[in-house]
Structure 1
Amino acid sequence: MFQALRGDFLRLRFRPDRDHSVEIVECPGLWLDQRDLNALVEACRAVVASCLNGNQLDYGLFAQGGAAWNRSVITLIRRADDGRPIAFNAMPLLPVSRGGQASHVLHLGLVMVDPRERGGGLSWILYGLTCFALFVRGGLRPLWISSVTQVPAVVGMIAETFDQVYPGQAGTTPSFAHRHLAHQIMAGERAAFGVSDDAGFDAEAQVITNAYTGGSDNLKKSFAVAAKHRDARYNTFCAAVLDYERGDDVLQIGRLDLGSARRFLARSVPRGALPQLAAQGLMIGVQAVLAPLLQWLDADKPLGRLRPAR
């Protein structure tokens, strides 16, 4: 078990159980040495090949030039016994403006799981763990997230994990923030999730029409094949609002706050992983919040305009 923050970037290594090891790396293209970066890329490509019968993707993380590695948070899961990569999630940080200030939305992007490992209870790692680590590192400030999918199981998982999720979460109506963020994402960040400029967008329902034309063609599914959620409401919702023959996706906007973080710890994290996760969260919090505060209060250290008034 090892965790470190390098500069402003997060790198977390975690053993949730005896069978798996997890590595979370933020923006590896900006600071990881070339040898380690190449190994990370090849591990993710191995997972893609296992999911697509040897084929590869050519959008988002795997687009030509590799720029997405500079702004994405990568979560990679390996088998603990032989180190074989079995799943990963690539979450790009999408630049947006909120309240007139530059900010970002964490996009719950490409998730790939080796078919032999599906149903192994990895979703809490691939989605919640990474978001929780970034939430703690951000000083427990609300973290806005987005997700583009046509899979009912994912729509339901997003709705049940995060707060203020629209669409798909019962009782949540779209606010100005939902509309504003969705507009910015669709206006400038389509390439992050493989949607071309030709795809349409129903802003009222937040549904992307004819979405599989920008590099994500291999991921298009029929409703019969798409994984279903245990709660039939989400399956009914997707069947009603999405045209699977055309290839539609739903754009969900929500956020992680103290309430949803508490639910994640109580409902999603296996009991055996809680002690290690608590230790990791404490270390991230100390490095991201407490240590800078103690340094700021040290009157002997020059901090220019940031020095507290005497």
Structure 2
Amino acid sequence: MSKPVTPRLLDTTVGAGPGLRSRIVERPGLALAPADLAVLIEDVRSIARSVLGDRDLTYGIFAGDPEILSRTVLTVVYEKKSGRPVAFNALAILDANLGGRPVEILHLGLVMVRPDVRGSGLSATLYGLTCVLLFVRRQCRAVWVSSVTQVPAVVGMVAETFSDVYPARPPARRSFQHERLARQIMGRWRHAFGVGEEAGFDADRFVITDAYTGGSDELKKTFESAAKHRDAIYNDLCAAELDYGRGDDLLQIGQIDMRAASRYLAKVAPPDTVPGLLGRFALLMIQAALLPLVHWLDHTQPWGSLRAWKT
């Protein structure tokens, strides 16, 4: 009897800027041997200690829970010469249901950068590059993403990086799909981002009230101390919607799709450069010619929005 085929999980290293490299590991709890996993988690903890000092986080990957690590995508950035870990992002893979079929949500999760390397533009790698690689890994099908934060800089980054994001700058609208996914995230997955059961959720504004009670207590900020976005509209949005004294968060939901991947590529390789032009051309060719063939050949996956006609 043949053994079931286990999907190959992403474990790759790519450049992350001058003197830096990033390692991206999909589901490290399944992909790595225990010794390798322990080293990777210790790298993450060392970054957290540099940011938090003596304070400890007690949720998510810091707890070392194998079940959590089996549905996490971990990106760790290292200095090439010293090998020192300087930043990380932990994306959670959340299961949900939409339109009667199962979907995955990439929850952007926690990002930390050592204080001495901040301002190096690492957010593009920690968020954008990881999501683009996972998008390609999933045959360039649109993938839902979510984010929970009270930091205006992150709210703006999510709104400008991904497609169809709510809440975002006006006239962003809440769709039925946004609401369905938000309710499932809050009903099933709040423990994945350190929000306690007693926290409330305003489904009209996508605001989580009293959010810092489920293990993420040390991340609570004042509005004054939270990093601001260069576009004041996101700072004003957070100031108007969130009660920082109580500890509120915004839940944002959007998608990584061809438009978002193209925007990301335009940021890291401007279109007027040769790499930018080649990259944009490759994306257009994939969208126009290759994707339909790939999806037609894969009988195990639904066509969804890529089908050429509606039934």
Q: Classify the TM-score, shorter chain.
A: 0.7 to 0.9
Asked if structure 1 preserves the Cα contact closer than 8 Å seen for 2:164 and 2:255, the reply is yes
SS in 1 for 2:10: strand
Partner residue, 2:155: 155
Partner residue, 2:27: 27
Alignment of structure 1 residues 1-310 onto 2, 5 Å? 7-63=7-63, 65-269=65-269
1:104 Cα deviation from its structure 2 partner = 1.1
2: distance between equivalents of 1:267 and 1:64? Answer: 35
2: distance between equivalents of 1:79 and 1:19? Answer: 6
SS in 2 for 1:164: strand
Structure 2 alignment gaps of length 5 or more: 1-5, 300-311
Identical-residue share of aligned pairs (%)? 50
**TM-aligned CA distance change 1:195 to 1:245, over 3 Å:** same
What is the alpha-carbon root mean square deviation over aligned residues? 2.6
2: distance between equivalents of 1:85 and 1:162? Answer: 27
1: distance between equivalents of 2:270 and 2:56? Answer: 33
1:188 Cα deviation from its structure 2 partner = 0.5
User: How many pairs were matched up?
Assistant: 283
1:18 Cα deviation from its structure 2 partner = 3.4
1:274 Cα deviation from its structure 2 partner = 5.4
Cα deviation digits, residues 11-34 of structure 1 (max 9, x gap): 110123331011000001012111
Please say which of residues 10-19 and 132-141 is displaced more in the overlay.
10-19
Asked if structure 2 preserves the Cα contact closer than 8 Å seen for 1:18 and 1:80, the reply is no
Asked if structure 2 preserves the Cα contact closer than 8 Å seen for 1:124 and 1:269, the reply is no
1: distance between equivalents of 2:138 and 2:29? Answer: 21
1: distance between equivalents of 2:13 and 2:197? Answer: 38
Ranges of 4+ aligned residues in structure 1 off by more than 6 Å: 270-273
2: distance between equivalents of 1:198 and 1:134? Answer: 33
**More contact order relative to length (CA 8 Å, sep ≥ 6):** 1
| TM-score, normalised via structure 1 length | 0.85
1: distance between equivalents of 2:275 and 2:128? Answer: 13
Cα deviation digits, residues 252-292 of structure 1 (max 9, x gap): 000011111111100245799959x96xx99xx9xxx99x9
| TM-score, normalised via structure 2 length | 0.85
**TM-aligned CA distance change 1:18 to 1:25, over 3 Å:** same
SS in 2 for 1:38: helix
SS in 2 for 1:261: helix
SS in 2 for 1:180: helix
**TM-aligned CA distance change 1:194 to 1:132, over 3 Å:** same
Asked if structure 2 preserves the Cα contact closer than 8 Å seen for 1:143 and 1:255, the reply is yes
1: distance between equivalents of 2:27 and 2:192? Answer: 14
2: distance between equivalents of 1:274 and 1:133? Answer: 17
Partner residue, 1:300: none
Asked if structure 2 preserves the Cα contact closer than 8 Å seen for 1:160 and 1:169, the reply is no
**TM-aligned CA distance change 1:204 to 1:123, over 3 Å:** same
**TM-aligned CA distance change 1:270 to 1:22, over 3 Å:** farther
2: distance between equivalents of 1:99 and 1:63? Answer: 34
**TM-aligned CA distance change 1:224 to 1:130, over 3 Å:** same
